[in-house]
Structure 1
Amino acid sequence: MFDAMLRRRLDAPLARAAGLVDRSWVTPDRITAAGLVLGLGSAATAAAAWWAVSLALWLVSRLADGLDGPLARRRRAVGRGDAGAGGFFDITADFAVYGATVVGVGIGSGGPLWPFLLVLLAYYVNGTAFLAFSSIAERSGRTLDDGRSLSFLGGLTEGAETIAVHALWLVLPFWSGEIALVWAVLVGITAVQRMVAGHRALR
């Protein structure tokens, strides 16, 4: 819901940060890989109930996730980009980190797992909706170009909300089940929004 506004505010600072790390040995894929490893580390430490460590790893992993795109666009502007491999790696890494974190928090919290299973189901349907839309929109020439590799349909819950809720789990693990239940409903609503919007856009 807040992604478009945050992107406008953060694009310039992230572009400057990308300029600072733009070295021959630093590539967008390596930053993505670092974010993936840190995110999986956050999930593992959440499962062990090391909440402070998990929170730190989570936030740093999301910072890495915010840097790989601006660096890729910077390289592409001077003819050093790829044909889409980086975008593919980025989205699959994100899904791996998000899913692993849900599992890690569910295990570490020690409570019922069913609210976290509902979150995973909502993520599955939501991800299917926007990835299917992006693929079909590309083939039919109806892409939504905001500088990212895929055509993203907006909705109630987007990247910013996901980062915030996953962080909230790690700050308030004793309420993580309740947070997960509310979050599953909100992500489910977003999935329905994207299904309806995508169908209308492709008619």
Structure 2
Amino acid sequence: MFDARIRPIIDPPLNRLGARVAQAGIGANAVTLAGLGLGLLAAVCIAVEAYLIALLPLLASRLADGLDGAVARASRKTDFGGYLDIVADFAFYGAIPLAFAVADPATNAVAAAFLLASFYVNGTSFLGFAILAEKHGIETDAQGEKSLFYSNGLLEGFETIGFFVLICLLPMYFAPLAWIFGALSLATAVLRLRTAHHLFHS
């Protein structure tokens, strides 16, 4: 919901930092993989119930997720780089709820399963929409320059990171928060489905 609004704020400093990273000879794919590694480290911290410590690699991973695109723009963008970025994002998004289930299976497992199922449905609606948008020549740069079409929705990257931060700060409330966020994620998928029906139904 807020990704397009915050892009004009975060892109200029990211682009400056990305140019410096590129000048140092570090490639965008390396930044993507570093971000994934940090995200998985955050998941490990959550799994052992070190929730506040998990915030450090979690936030660093999201910085890397924004930085890799800036590095690519300052050096060379590739389709594989965009593909690797979205795979790393989905791996990270799946690892965090799984980690909460591992940390406290009795309390969190069912809510985490529902959240992961909602991510699966929402992610499918996102990727399917991107394929059809490419087929129909529809483009947008509202979320910055991307390798594939980023359709907006109730929940986007900003909201998801905010949710992850919240459940790390309040792990005892993971289950109810996961049910709420999962429901909103499914609502996002439904709204995207309606938009796809409007644009692509023929």
Q: TM-score, normalised by structure 1?
A: 0.93
- Secondary structure of the residue aligned to 2:23 is coil
Residue 107 of structure 1: how far off its partner (Å)? 1.9
Asked if 1:104 corresponds to 2:99, the answer is: yes
Asked if 1:114 corresponds to 2:106, the answer is: no
Give structure 2 stretches of 5+ with no counterpart. Answer: none
Cα pair 2:47 2:100 within 8 Å, conserved:
yes
Match of 2:161 in 1: 163
Give a deviation string over 1:78-107, Cα, whole Å, max 9, x none: xx332x000000000000011011100222
Cα pair 1:46 1:54 within 8 Å, conserved:
yes
Residue 136 of structure 1: how far off its partner (Å)? 1.8
Equivalent position amino acid for 2:31 in 1: I
Give a deviation string over 1:93-134, Cα, whole Å, max 9, x none: 000011011100222245131111111111111110110111
Distance in 1 (alpha carbons) for counterparts of 2:109 and 2:116: 11
Residue 24 of structure 1: how far off its partner (Å)? 4.8
Match of 1:94 in 2: 89
Match of 1:10 in 2: 10
Give a deviation string over 1:28-83, Cα, whole Å, max 9, x none: 000000001110111111111111221111000001001001111222xxxx332x
Residues 105-114 or 171-180, more deviating: 105-114
Cα pair 1:129 1:191 within 8 Å, conserved:
yes
Distance in 1 (alpha carbons) for counterparts of 2:64 and 2:86: 13
Q: 1:10 to 1:112 in 2, by over 3 A?
A: closer
Distance in 1 (alpha carbons) for counterparts of 2:189 and 2:101: 22
Distance in 2 (alpha carbons) for counterparts of 1:144 and 1:4: 11
Give structure 1 stretches of 5+ with no counterpart. Answer: none
Partner residue of 2:198 out of 181, 193, 200: 200
Match of 2:72 in 1: 72
Distance in 2 (alpha carbons) for counterparts of 1:26 and 1:123: 31
Cα pair 1:72 1:81 within 8 Å, conserved:
yes
Match of 2:180 in 1: 182
Root mean square deviation, CA, Å: 1.3
